Amino acid sequence: MKMAFVASDTDKSRQSLQQLTARYGQHAPADAEVIVALGGDGFMLQTLHQVMNTGKPVFGMRRGTVGFLMNDYRMDELPERIAAAQSTVLHPLKMRAETTTGRVHEALAINEVSLLRQTRQSARIGIEINGQPKIDELVCDGVLLSTAAGSTAYNLSAHGPVLPIGSDVLALTPISPFRPRRWRGAILPADARVRFQVHDHEKRPVSATADNFEVRHVKTVAVSEDKSSRMTLLFDPDHNLEDRIINEQFVF
């Protein structure tokens, strides 16, 4: 099996990279049958961005702290583990952001698309789902739309729900909401089309971020799942991701 090993910039990951390449060899990503990512969830998302639409599946092994998207690290019988792994196909979110000057920026997000206030003043954001107004004005620090893959990251820190991989839903989560005070977000079908309208954008500027791509002074932001783009994650058959997702929701 032709494997391309990639590793995050930590001592533990680099040491594992040396050990694995010495044992199994190393191929260029373009020539490999599978990409083996060594690190945490952040590095996995970075790797998925790089291999998107190449058809290369990614098998992650945990060399970070949490690693919801990673398998356990073991050196033995790696080709056999990969051959027996179960695959999960992920589709990113596509962000289309229009700025106050009329410029349009597009970007893909594996993790989440987030809107955040740029100044000390709260943001005022209207939310439409599939063309229907749902919240006329959310007064908040921001709001985000997260995929299942990204639900254990910023979304979880903002008290959003943890979504099982493959659940085909998205999490719409407010960030420090002031009005409506009782609204804590929503779970949407993955094919939902979400549109954010920034009110009073000259006085209360807002930025939009798709993973690590940021656009400042946005006026409207449209987000939907991009079915034309895909990435494949490989998991051990006994991978305990589901149990870990359940347990994470009971950490106080």
Residues catalogued as catalytic:
41
Is the dihedral angle over the CA atoms 26, 28, 34, 40 positive or is it negative? positive
Q: In whole angstroms, what is the distance from residue 221 CA to residue 213 CA?
A: 14
Regarding beta strands 218-225 and 58-62, do their DSSP bridges make them parallel or antiparallel, or are they unpaired?
unpaired
Q: Which of 133, 118, 142 is nearest to 203 (CA)?
A: 118
How many C-beta atoms surround the C-beta of residue 66 within 10 A?
14
CA distance 66 to 19: 22
Q: How many of the other CB atoms lie within 10 Å of CB of 232?
A: 18
Among 122, 143, 128, 132, CA closest to 201: 122
Contact (CB, 8 A) for 26 and 6: no
